[in-house]
């Protein structure tokens, strides 16, 4: 995950998002060897990446393969 830049955020720009505790524990394990300083930094990075992919593809129809990839990412994040 080299090249990750943590952008400073003020308290006013943050909101609370609840995720299942088992998922949070898994994220804690993942970041131990990844270079991320906190589960929050990792989650923000992953969500920005996912949103960026979706925004780039907004103007066209998704293939069934792309939909499956998005569903899997959401499942891995604990939303499905």
pTM recorded for the entire structure: 0.55
Find tokens 């930094």 and name the residue.
Answer: 41
pLDDT value of residue 3: 47
- Between CA 71 and CA 80 the distance in angstroms is 8
Tell me, rounded to whole angstroms, the distance of Cα 66 from its chain centroid: 17
Q: Which segments of the chain have a pLDDT < 70?
A: 1-12, 57-59
Instruction: Calculate the alpha carbon distances from 56 to 2, 23, 61 in Å.
Output: 23, 27, 12
Contacts of 47 (CB under 8 A, 6+ apart): 77
């Amino acid at each position: 995950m080299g090249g990750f830049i943590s952008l400073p955020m003020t308290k006013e720009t943050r909101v609370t998002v609840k995720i299942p505790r088992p998922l949070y524990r898994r994220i804690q394990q993942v970041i131990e060897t990844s270079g991320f300083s906190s589960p929050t930094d990792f989650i923000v990075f992953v969500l920005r990446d996912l949103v960026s992919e979706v925004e780039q593809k907004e103007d066209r129809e998704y293939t069934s393969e792309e939909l499956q990839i998005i569903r899997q990412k959401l499942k891995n994040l604990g939303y499905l």
